[in-house]
């Protein structure tokens, strides 16, 4: 446990050691605001909730989370520090989880900075704060799932640009897993059971279900398992690819 904390602290402070972290947070807030107020007609709807704000989160994450996650392992491999990290007395699992949690916490920090929007609606009307809190939790979980995918893909290559692009593609597929675009691709040849299973993997469905205000166990399990699966895959990939 203490090893995870040590790796976590080093990783998180490394985000803030360069201006990149601040640039990222500013961009995140700008985009979140722009989407909400211009595209989401925040004021014109005349409703006191944050639906327009949260509706855009999946699309915001589609690009911003891969940008955070792309360096997770590609950079370690490129700079050779992976050799240092993995010859210290820590397990692969501790390294993978510690680094992942740091990146997740970083996104969490960016998310926390959107609180003025919540304060605004709370001031203008009387929103259901339970729903908003649930949506925040759902949004954070979804970011974690995106990030776990990013972790695994960044372990596959030492090139951050490739890691970024591949992660966006894979995340996009997971976002739209419940939509005809993805399902048609499978229904042509896969049995119905598989197609149903794939549509059950959709990030959007699970996120939407949480943001209705009920944090259901099945959605928590879904995101938990997704994160665990991709982190496990990260560890396997790192083990296979660390030599080259």
Partner 1 sequence: MIETRQLTKRYGELTAVDGISFKLEPGRVLGFLGPNGAGKSTTMKMIAGFLAPTSGSASVCGHDVVDDAIAAKRMLGYLPEGAPSYGEMTPHRFLEFVADVRGLSGAKRTQRIDDVIERLHLNGVLEQPIETLSKGFKRRVGLAQAIVHDPQVLILDEPTDGLDPNQKHEVRALINAMAKDKTIIVSTHILEEVHAVCSRAIIIARGRVLADATPAELETRSRYHQAVSLTAANVPAAKEALSKVADVAAVEIDPQDHRITAFPKPGRQIFVAVNQALQAQGVAVSELQLESGRLDEVFRTITQGSGQEARA
Ligand X SMILES: Nc1ncnc2c1ncn2[C@@H]1O[C@H](COP(=O)(O)OP(=O)(O)OP(=O)(O)O)[C@@H](O)[C@H]1O
Q: By CB under 6 A, name the binding residues for ligand X.
A: 243-244
Q: Which stretch binds partner 1 (CB under 8 A): 75-83, 134-142, 168-176, 182-190?
A: 75-83
Helices (H), 157-216: 160-175, 180-187, 192-199, 203-211
CA distance 141 to 209: 12
Q: Give the C-alpha separation, 191 to 185, whole Å.
A: 12
Give yes or no for residue 6 binding partner 1 (CB under 8 A): yes
The residue range among 41-49, 74-82, 158-166, 181-189 that interacts with partner 1, by the rule CB under 8 A, is: 74-82
**Within 142-161, which residues bind partner 1 (CB under 8 A)?**
none
With binding defined as CB under 8 A, does residue 83 bind partner 1? yes
17 binds partner 1 (CB under 8 A): yes
Q: CA angle, 67 as apex, 30 and 222 as ends, to 5°? A: 95
126 lies in the site for partner 1, by CB under 8 A:
no
Residue closer to partner 1 by CB (options 88, 194) is: 88
Integer Cα distance of 178 and 128 in angstroms: 28
Distance CA 10, CA 185 (A): 43
**Residues 194/177, Cβ–Cβ less than 8 Å:** no
Judged by beta carbon distances under 5 to 8 A according to partner kind, the member of ligand X, partner 1, none in contact with residue 91 is partner 1
List contacts with partner 1 (CB under 8 A).
3, 6-7, 10, 13-14, 17-18, 79-81, 83-84, 86-91, 242-244
């Amino acid at each position: 446990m203490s090893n995870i904390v040590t790796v976590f602290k080093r990783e998180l402070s490394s985000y803030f050691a360069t201006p990149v972290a601040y640039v990222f947070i500013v961009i995140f807030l700008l985009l979140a605001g722009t989407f909400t107020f211009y595209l989401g007609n925040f004021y014109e709807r005349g409703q006191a909730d944050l639906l327009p704000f949260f509706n855009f989160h999946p699309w915001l994450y589609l690009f911003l989370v891969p940008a955070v996650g792309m360096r997770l392992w590609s950079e370690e491999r490129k700079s050779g520090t992976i050799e240092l990290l993995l010859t210290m007395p820590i397990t692969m699992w501790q390294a993978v989880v510690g680094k992942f949690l740091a990146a997740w916490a970083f996104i969490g920090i960016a998310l926390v900075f959107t609180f003025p929007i919540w304060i605004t609606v709370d001031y203008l009307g009387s929103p259901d704060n339970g729903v908003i809190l649930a949506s925040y939790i759902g949004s954070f979980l979804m970011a974690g799932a995106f990030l776990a995918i990013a972790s695994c893909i960044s372990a596959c290559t030492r090139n951050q640009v490739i890691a970024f692009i591949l992660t966006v593609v894979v995340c996009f597929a997971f976002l739209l897993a419940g939509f005809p675009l993805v399902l048609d691709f499978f229904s042509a040849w896969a049995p119905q059971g598989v197609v149903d299973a794939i549509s059950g993997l959709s990030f959007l469905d699970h996120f939407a279900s949480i943001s209705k205000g009920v944090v259901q166990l099945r959605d928590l399990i879904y995101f938990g398992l997704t994160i665990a699966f991709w982190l496990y895959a990260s560890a396997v990939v790192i083990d296979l690819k660390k030599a080259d």
